[in-house]
């Protein structure tokens, strides 16, 4: 079974049958110790161990009457390397959140099915199934007993039907051809996309099912994608917001990329499909568009569907536009033609005349609204923070918000005035003892005369009369903003707590500064954005509190590539480097990565296209061609299950550094992917990270 990386929550799901009674009280979940030790309280700054004591909020759900919010809270236990997610409820008016259930395993994907009844996925009986419970009862009733387990689900608006996703073996694999070899371990491929993100294709796919909800436990359901060799929701994130019910419960809308093999590898063309429960037919409503189409949301009267759409096939960071499909005319219209930034998290107002959404401006993410009759966009919130989602409750909004100094919390927002009120304080046990560093917005002039926003993050106990080492943070993506995010690995406060000043530029190729700024990087990896990095360092290092002889450069993914490239071109600016999962050799990367559309667009094409000037310029400037210039210590890190930028890129870089006499160290996490997700691995990552920097910068 694939690892399912859902945007709202990460869950490890087991597959199996369960014969427990329908209604029961489970054994209570073991308690994780998340309290700070005396030494951690006395230290007063963020540490790797404290970072894993943060509780992580996910998937807020507003009750039908608008009075209560269900949300998930994930917790981690470092000694056992385990995690669990639990469901809490808090009144919209405020108060202390209450744990809804005390079950073993994890509970997630919580959904209201009335004002005092909710459903959820739970692993407390072993496999993942849907259960329901009455608020305050503590007892649960089993809804599904599906043999391949449940990944995610949604109840219909009238609560009489349920849709859910589960793994289905669709095609035969090589083991089916050799039944006399039951212990064989092999993957076979006759086409591309034989692996994706962190898993090898195993002939099974995530399919959407639906069933009537009666008095019994659901064991069978209708597969609306029967026999189809593709995933819905789409791999690799399997985000359940890519599927939804129509208000009358007669239609299911879902997102799917119905391509296989080479076509899937070179294209981003996903579409939105409508499945008619009465007639049984499926309709593609976005067939004309060749880029990503995702996240369908029905209007309150069911006559329109809002969704996000990218125009360009193969360009995964194209502008996310707001489209609205009219179910009566069968026509769709782009409502964000005159709006420059991306739109996400779309929600309808109750009257169907206004759309609320999340969008970026100057490396922050805010809440907005659009009047559909005029297409006029108004910004609701402002400030140095990131809103991640929005739920409409009349003139009150519910949003999940984070910033450099705060992990995600829930806030209410006045839709007219933008006035905010913090609803949850889930990590109060940490903030009352830990001092966070100041995050400051700077605007730096670039080499081509433009202005670039650079975040400067200071140590918590900053002394302006002291000189500090500094770190240039190189963002990945390459097209994801250096915004007000709170990361559980690339955490600016963690770096600041180790007495580093962080220089985090929003170089060329990052959103929230207009499409021209965002697009510039494609086909020009070694050009203006590299100049932007250096302009940021050269401007900020003139501050008297920075020791310009003690500056390091760090980054992952595209940021890891940036470190490799800077290592051959930095002209003595840096004294230490750290590259995580970076692209080192563009030719080997192109031939090994699984989503071929990415290098086709960003590098300009394949390395064998001799007449392709953009591609040839990219490959001529691959970092591996400048190793002869490397002269600075470098730490190189990768994950054995990273199929986006395979770990062999890191092996090449380390081998090249060693053969050229450059002091270097290699870390390979064999069971991690593009990210380091296991608690103990992450803590070790942090210790090695700062051990390397401290050795050369302090």
DSSP assigned state of 124: T
CATH topology of domain 435-697: Rossmann fold (3.40.50)
With H, G, I as helix, E, B as strand and everything else as coil, classify residue 239: coil
Q: Which two tokens stand for residue 144?
A: 């599904």
Strands 140-142, 546-556: pairing is unpaired
Q: How far is CA 686 from CA 267, 530, 637, 693, in A?
A: 36, 26, 11, 11
Average of per-residue pLDDT values in the chain:
94
Say whether pLDDT at 2 is over 80. no
Say whether pLDDT at 19 is over 80. no
With H, G, I as helix, E, B as strand and everything else as coil, classify residue 22: coil
| pLDDT value of position 477 | 93
Q: What is the mean predicted confidence (pLDDT) over 505-526? A: 96
Neighbours of 638 (CB within 10 A): 29
Positive or negative: CA dihedral 651, 657, 661, 666: negative
Containing H/E element for 688?
A: helix 679-697
Containing H/E element for 697?
A: helix 679-697
Report yes or no: 274 and 253 within 8 Å, Cβ to Cβ.
Answer: yes
Say whether pLDDT at 690 is over 90. yes
| pLDDT value of position 563 | 98
pLDDT for 576-606, tens place per residue? 999 999 999 999 999 999 999 999 999 999 9
Angle separating helix axes 528-540 and 558-567, nearest 10 degrees: 70
pLDDT for 480-514, tens place per residue? 999 999 999 999 999 999 999 999 999 999 999 99
Report yes or no: 313 and 269 within 8 Å, Cβ to Cβ.
Answer: yes
557: closest CA among 615, 440, 478, 470?
Answer: 478
pLDDT for 383-431, tens place per residue? 999 999 999 999 999 999 999 999 999 999 999 999 999 999 999 999 9
For 442, residues 6+ apart whose C-beta sits below 8 A from its C-beta are 453, 454, 455, 456, 539, 540
| pLDDT value of position 27 | 56
Helices (H), 195-242: none
Write the Ramachandran bin of 426: left for phi over 0, alpha for psi from -120 to 50, otherwise beta. Answer: alpha
Neighbours of 162 (CB within 10 A): 24
- Active-site residues, by number, are 557, 642, 674
> Taking the domains of the chain in order of start, what are their residue ranges?
435-697
Distance CA 91, CA 97 (A): 8
Q: Which two tokens stand for residue 19?
A: 């014969």
Q: What is the mean predicted confidence (pLDDT) over 687-698? A: 98
Confidence bin at 668 (pLDDT 50/70/90): very high
For 76, residues 6+ apart whose C-beta sits below 8 A from its C-beta are 32, 52, 53, 82, 83, 679
Q: Which two tokens stand for residue 125?
A: 């009986």
């Amino acid at each position: 079974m694939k690892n399912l990386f859902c945007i709202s929550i990460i869950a490890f799901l087991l597959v199996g049958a369960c014969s427990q009674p329908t209604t029961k009280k489970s054994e209570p979940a073991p308690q994780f110790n998340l309290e700070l030790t005396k030494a951690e309280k006395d230290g007063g700054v963020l540490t790797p161990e404290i970072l894993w004591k943060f509780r992580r909020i996910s998937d807020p759900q507003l009750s039908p009457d608008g009075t209560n919010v269900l949300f998930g809270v994930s917790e981690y236990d470092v000694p056992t390397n385990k995690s669990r997610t639990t469901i809490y409820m808090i009144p919209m008016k405020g108060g202390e959140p209450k744990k809804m259930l005390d079950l073993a395993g994890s509970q997630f994907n919580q959904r209201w099915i009335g004002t005092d009844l909710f459903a959820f996925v739970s692993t407390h009986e072993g496999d993942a199934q849907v259960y329901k419970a009455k608020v305050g009862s503590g007892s649960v009733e089993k809804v599904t007993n599906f043999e391949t387990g449940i990944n995610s689900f949604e109840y219909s608006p009238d609560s009489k039907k349920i849709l859910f996703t589960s793994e289905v073996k669709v095609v035969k694999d090589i083991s089916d051809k050799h039944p006399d070899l039951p212990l064989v371990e092999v993957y076979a491929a006759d086409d591309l996309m034989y692996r994706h993100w962190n898993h090898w294709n195993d002939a099974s796919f995530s399919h959407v099912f639906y069933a009537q909800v009666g008095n019994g436990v659901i064991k069978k359901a209708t597969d609306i994608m029967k026999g189809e060799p593709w995933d819905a929701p789409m791999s690799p994130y399997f985000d359940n917001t890519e599927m939804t019910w129509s208000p009358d419960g007669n239609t299911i809308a879902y997102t799917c990329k119905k391509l296989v093999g080479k076509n899937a590898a070179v294209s981003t063309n996903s579409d939105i499909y409508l499945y008619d429960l009465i007639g049984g037919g499926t309709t593609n409503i976005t067939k004309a568009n060749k880029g990503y189409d995702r996240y369908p949301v029905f209007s309150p009267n069911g006559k329109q569907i809002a969704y996000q759409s990218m125009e360009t096939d193969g360009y995964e960071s194209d502008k996310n536009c707001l489209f609205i499909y009219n179910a009566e005319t069968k026509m769709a219209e782009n409502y964000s033609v005159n709006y420059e930034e991306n739109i996400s998290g779309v929600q309808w107002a109750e009257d169907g005349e206004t759309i609320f959404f999340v969008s970026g401006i100057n490396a922050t993410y805010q809440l907005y609204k659009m009047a559909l009759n005029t297409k006029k966009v108004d910004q609701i919130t402002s400030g140095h923070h990131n809103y991640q989602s929005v739920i409409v409750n009349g003139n009150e909004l519910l949003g999940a918000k984070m910033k450099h100094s705060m992990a995600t919390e829930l806030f209410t927002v006045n839709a007219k005035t933008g006035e905010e009120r913090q609803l949850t304080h889930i990590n109060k046990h940490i903030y009352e003892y830990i001092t966070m560093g100041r995050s400051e917005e700077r605007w730096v002039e670039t080499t081509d005369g433009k202005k670039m926003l650079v975040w400067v993050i200071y140590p918590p106990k900053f002394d302006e009369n002291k000189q500090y080492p500094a770190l240039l943070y190189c963002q990945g993506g390459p097209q994801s903003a250096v915004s007000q995010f709170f990361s559980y690995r690339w955490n600016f406060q963690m770096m600041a707590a180790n007495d580093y000043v962080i220089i985090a530029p929003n170089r060329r190729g990052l959103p929230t500064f207009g499409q021209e700024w965002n697009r510039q990087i494609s086909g020009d990896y070694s050009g203006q954005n590299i100049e932007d990095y250096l302009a940021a360092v050269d401007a900020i290092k003139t501050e008297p509190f920075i020791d310009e002889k003690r500056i390091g450069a760090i980054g992952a993914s595209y940021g890891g590539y940036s470190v490799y490239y800077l290592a051959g071109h930095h002209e003595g600016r840096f004294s230490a480097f750290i590259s995580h999962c970076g692209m080192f050799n563009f030719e080997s990367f192109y031939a090994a990565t699984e989503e071929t559309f990415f290098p086709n667009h960003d590098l300009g094409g394949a390395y064998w296209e001799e007449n392709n000037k953009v591609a040839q310029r990219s490959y001529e400037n691959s970092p591996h061609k400048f190793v002869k210039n490397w002269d600075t210590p470098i730490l190189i890190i990768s994950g054995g299950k990273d199929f986006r930028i395979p770990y062999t890129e890191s092996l090449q870089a380390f081998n090249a550094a060693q053969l050229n006499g450059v002091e270097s160290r290699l870390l390979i996490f064999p069971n991690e992917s593009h990210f380091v997700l296991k608690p103990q691995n992450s803590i070790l990552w942090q210790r090695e990270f700062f051990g390397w920097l401290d050795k050369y910068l302090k």
